[in-house]
Amino acid sequence: VRYKEGQGWHNPTIEARAPISLDPAAAVLHYAQEIFEGMKAYRAADGAVVMFRPDANARRFRESAERMAMAPVPDALFLQAVRELVRTDRDWIPEGENASLYLRPFMIASEAFLGVKPSSEYLFIVIASPVGAYFSAGAVTVWVSEDYTRAAPGGTGAAKCGGNYAASLLAQREAKAHGCDQVLFLDAAEHRWIEEMGGMNIFFVMDDSTLVTPPLGTILPGITRDTILTLARDRGLTVREDAYSIDQCYQDAAAGRLKEVFACGTAAVVTPIGRLRGRRGEIVIGSGNGADPVTETLRTALIGIQRGKAPDPHGWVQRVG
Ligand code: PMP
């Protein structure tokens, strides 16, 4: 779908995937005026094609657009684009518990000019690709990055824009070089407060079954994060959205107070974290293999609702076709 100031959104089409043409002076290529979403369509237990909280993606896309001074895509248009693509591609939706059709809605500034200003033309595109599980089963090891940060107060951390990920690639490479699966970012001001991972939010389970997760602000407001907070409260667990420092985390782990850590996101669903590795050494969480009770309870609860095997009291699952 195209946008031009004065004309609004126009020309919606569904086409076979092919290269798109852009003027070399298109604003996105120079000033990274770009945002995206990540969501999944999959088959529920009864065979229906469903999506999980797509309205939350539509809203976050609109909020990202606002932060990046881009034309907002109305929620109804966003949802229509996604649904129509899923219906068109429904034969590509793989069967299986961990399989889905991954959808990548994104928007780029397409106007050609070289001055630094918001574009007045945009392209909103959705692409789709079948995917399996993001991580193989078991717990992952996370690298605590003390050299690079992802987001500063007043910056774009809460928006899902490509620039945030460009800035995190070097840290992700550093994590891999240290034998880790993912990077964990600390805050920009003090390099002390735990924020989030390269593509997931993070939760800590303390010994009294209290869940702690970093507060919103500079982190991406994950839809899975929000879902887990609700599922945990529904199950009578205490949840706190509180700043948690890396020092405290190492201390709590050493003292046996930190029982479980897990990551969550659309791609990762709920993935246990068995080890944190960093400049100050390595800590093993719980059993180290991730088969720990609170993480497992929340993971099973989320997958159960998503796959239509458990009741959906919050109306999160939407039939697409
Ligand atoms: N943080 C970052 C940096 C991410 O890229 C993602 C994935 N979108 C998340 C958190 C988790 O968000 P969600 O649960 O909406 O997928």
pLDDT of the chain, 321 residues: tens digit per residue: 999 999 999 999 999 999 999 999 999 999 999 999 999 999 988 889 999 999 999 999 999 999 999 999 999 999 999 999 999 999 989 888 788 999 999 999 999 999 999 999 999 999 999 998 777 778 999 999 999 999 999 999 999 999 999 999 999 999 999 999 999 999 999 999 999 999 999 999 999 889 999 999 999 999 999 999 999 999 999 999 999 999 999 999 999 999 999 999 999 999 999 999 999 899 999 888 877 899 999 999 999 999 989 999 999 999 997
Whole-number Å distance between alpha carbons of 166 and 116? 19
Whole-number Å distance between alpha carbons of 318 and 1? 23
Q: Which residues of 262-297 are buried (b: 16+ CB within 10 A; e: fewer)?
A: bbbbbbbbbbbbbbbbbeeeebebbeeebebebbeb
Q: Is the ipTM of this complex over 0.90?
A: yes
Q: Is the CB of 304 under 6 A from ligand 1?
A: no
- Domains detected in the chain: 2-15+22-131 (3.30.470.10), 140-306 (3.20.10.10)
Whole-number Å distance between alpha carbons of 309 and 44? 8
pTM of the entire predicted model: 0.96
Q: Is the CB of 201 under 6 A from ligand 1?
A: yes
Find residue 50's DSSP bridge partners. Answer: 42, 319
**What is the atom index within ligand 1 of the atom nearest the CA of 37?**
8
What phi and psi values does residue 77 have, to the nearest 5 degrees? -70, -40
Q: Please give the DSSP secondary-structure letter assigned to residue 235.
A: T
Count of residues for the chain?
321
**What is the atom index within ligand 1 of the atom nearest the CA of 266?**
16
Q: Is the CB of 38 under 6 A from ligand 1?
A: yes
